[in-house]
Structure 1
Amino acid sequence: MFSALLINKTDAGQTVEVTQLDEAQLPEGDVVIEVAYSTLNYKDGLAITGRSPVVRKWPMVPGIDLAGTVVESSNPDWKAGDAVVLNGWGVGEVHWGGLAQKAKLKGEWLVPLPAGISARQAMAIGTAGYTAALCVEALEQAGVTPDKGEVLVTGATGGVGSVAIALLAKAGFTVAASSGKASEAEYLQQLGASTIIDRNELSAPGKPMQKERWAGVVDSVGSHTLANACAQTRYGGVVTACGLAQGMDFPASVAPFILRGLSLLGIDSVMAPKAKRLAAWARLARDLDLAKLDVIGGQEIGLSGAVDAATQLMDGKVRGRIVVNVNK
């Protein structure tokens, strides 16, 4: 038996509770993992609160991330004792996820826990930090370099934004952080932001072409924020889009793309191939200052605290990352 957060769907609505499950109930997979830590991402918050139909199979153990140790494997790539990380692949949506003490998964979904990063630190990074690393990798591969100008990070106090700032600053970029939380300016500067911008400057409808400001953008917000970021990006600049906190819409014009040669790159973390995952985690292991990670991912809860924390996350009351100790 093991403890897990379980979401059920009833005629009266959705229920969420910490319960005991039998290992025989675990879904199909060729690797069994003893989970040490998980985390709460935006998608987990949507699933747990029921504010969006993220869960597509019932009942469901949420948690799109986990870090732990292999205890049983019929997959040739993994053996008992291997330390592993999982991000995405529909886990927590159609396959039981990481907010449990045990998980059974496909070995092809896993990557090794990088040397020098603990299981707890990996979950302070989580999908949010891994996505941030994918964004930074994409900017560099598209030719954005520190000498070309500032890089804008939207949703800066969130998980993606926080890690993106730290990685970009480490790589030598000058970072402008957009946030609606004026009280968090010191936090953002600690991470490496040089300039703090009120998110209201970007969140309202704007002109299709605006003053050129950014060489690159990491956007986790979408909607008008993404449209304005594109309208303000310099000639030949690159915008990476990985989130929709403000909305799924994109009320923009083709003008910046045609007249300024702008590139808009979609960043998918869920189904990203293994090579991209390994590159992102290698960057995190190499470039992420773990002292800054302590600032980003300082909040730790147990399984019993996940429902309240998910509500706070959806209400915009969370800074950085929430780490879930599933054995706490």
Structure 2
Amino acid sequence: MFKALLLQQHDKQTHAAITELDEHQLPEGDVTVAVQYSSLNYKDGLAITGKGKIVRQWPMVPGIDLVGTVLDSADARYQAGEQVVLTGWGVGEGHWGGMAEKARLKADWLVPLAAGLTPLQSMQIGTAGLTAMLCVMALEEAGLTPDQGDILVTGASGGVGSVAVALLAALGFSVVAATGRSANHELLLKLGASRVISRDELLTPIRPLDKQLWAGAVDTVGSSVLAKILSQVNYNGAVAACGLAGGFELPATVMPFILRNVRLQGVDSVMCPFARRQQAWQRLATLLPAHFYQTACKEILLEEAPEAAAKMMDGQITGRVVIKIA
């Protein structure tokens, strides 16, 4: 038997409870893992609270991230005793996830724990940090360098945003952090932001072309905020877009693309191929400064996950939340 946070649906309402499960109830997979840590992401918050149509089958163990030790493996790539990390691939949505003491997974979904990272640090990074690293890599591949001007990060108080601020600062970029939470200004400056602006500055009316302010941006919000950013990006600049917290529509024009040569790069971490995923993890292991883990991360117990999920949905969570399982 093992402990898990189990989501069930009754009368179209989601109910979350700590439950004892039998190993025979685990879904099919190549590798069985003893989970050490998971983490709380926005998708997890939606799933646990029932505020989003995230769960595709019931019952469900949430947790789109996990790190743990292989117990047994039918795949030659992984051996008992090895430490592995999983992020994405629909786990916690259509396949039981990381908020349990055991998980059974497809070997293709796993990556070895990167050298230089502890299991705890890997979940302090998690899906949010992996997404942030992929966004930074996209900006680098677009040719952006620190001497070209400010990089804007929206939703900077959240999981992706806080890691993006720390990564860009570590690479020598001048980072402007946009947030709706004035109480987090000091935290964002500690993470490496050169200055912090209010989200309200990005909610003013959108022009086809506005004053050029940003060499590039990492956007986690979408909708009118992304449209506003595109109108303000410098000639030959780039935006990495990875979120839709503000909505999935894009009320923009083609003007920034055809008159300023602006690049808009979508970033997905869920289905990211193994080689690029592994490259991103290796860079995270070397780039993230020690103070990130101390400043922007909080650890909770599995029993506290439902309450933390509710707080996340109310905008009361800053940075990364790690869930201790073992």
TM-score (norm 2): 0.98
Could you tell me whether the CA contact under 8 Å between 2:214 and 2:232 is conserved in 1?
yes
Distance 1:314 1:184 in 2: 17
- The code of the aligned residue for 1:85 comes to V
Residue equivalent to 1:174: 174
Distance 1:48 1:106 in 2: 23
Within 5 Å, give how 1:8-19 maps onto structure 2.
8-11=8-11, 13-19=13-19
Could you tell me whether the CA contact under 8 Å between 1:33 and 1:102 is conserved in 2?
yes
Give the number of aligned pairs.
326
Residue equivalent to 1:313: 312
Q: Which runs of 4+ in 1 moved over 3 A?
A: none
Residue equivalent to 1:188: 188
- The code of the aligned residue for 2:218 comes to V
- Describe the superposition over 1:43-77 as per-residue Cα deviations: whole angstroms up to 9, x where unpaired: 10011111110000111100000011001001110
1:129 aligns to 2:121 (yes or no): no
SS of alignment partner, residue 309 of structure 1: helix
Distance 1:57 1:204 in 2: 41
SS of alignment partner, residue 80 of structure 2: coil
Could you tell me whether the CA contact under 8 Å between 1:204 and 1:225 is conserved in 2?
no
Residue equivalent to 1:303: 302
- The code of the aligned residue for 2:169 comes to A
Residue equivalent to 2:37: 37
SS of alignment partner, residue 123 of structure 1: helix
Distance 1:124 1:294 in 2: 10
Could you tell me whether the CA contact under 8 Å between 1:62 and 1:98 is conserved in 2?
yes
- The code of the aligned residue for 1:243 comes to G
SS of alignment partner, residue 129 of structure 2: helix
Distance 2:179 2:240 in 1: 17
SS of alignment partner, residue 44 of structure 1: helix
Distance 1:76 1:303 in 2: 31
Please report how far the alpha carbon of residue 182 of structure 1 lies from its aligned counterpart in structure 2 after TM superposition. Answer: 1.5
Could you tell me whether the CA contact under 8 Å between 1:135 and 1:267 is conserved in 2?
yes
Please report how far the alpha carbon of residue 290 of structure 1 lies from its aligned counterpart in structure 2 after TM superposition. Answer: 2.2
Could you tell me whether the CA contact under 8 Å between 2:237 and 2:262 is conserved in 1?
yes
Distance 2:9 2:143 in 1: 47
Could you tell me whether the CA contact under 8 Å between 2:220 and 2:241 is conserved in 1?
yes
Could you tell me whether the CA contact under 8 Å between 1:204 and 1:224 is conserved in 2?
no
Within 5 Å, give how 1:74-153 maps onto structure 2.
74-153=74-153
Please report how far the alpha carbon of residue 205 of structure 1 lies from its aligned counterpart in structure 2 after TM superposition. Answer: 3.7
1:21 aligns to 2:16 (yes or no): no
Q: Percent identity?
A: 56
Within 5 Å, give how 1:238-253 maps onto structure 2.
238-253=238-253
Please report how far the alpha carbon of residue 291 of structure 1 lies from its aligned counterpart in structure 2 after TM superposition. Answer: 2.2
Residue equivalent to 2:203: 203
Within 5 Å, give how 1:230-309 maps onto structure 2.
230-297=230-297, 299-309=298-308
Distance 2:299 2:23 in 1: 26
Could you tell me whether the CA contact under 8 Å between 2:203 and 2:225 is conserved in 1?
yes
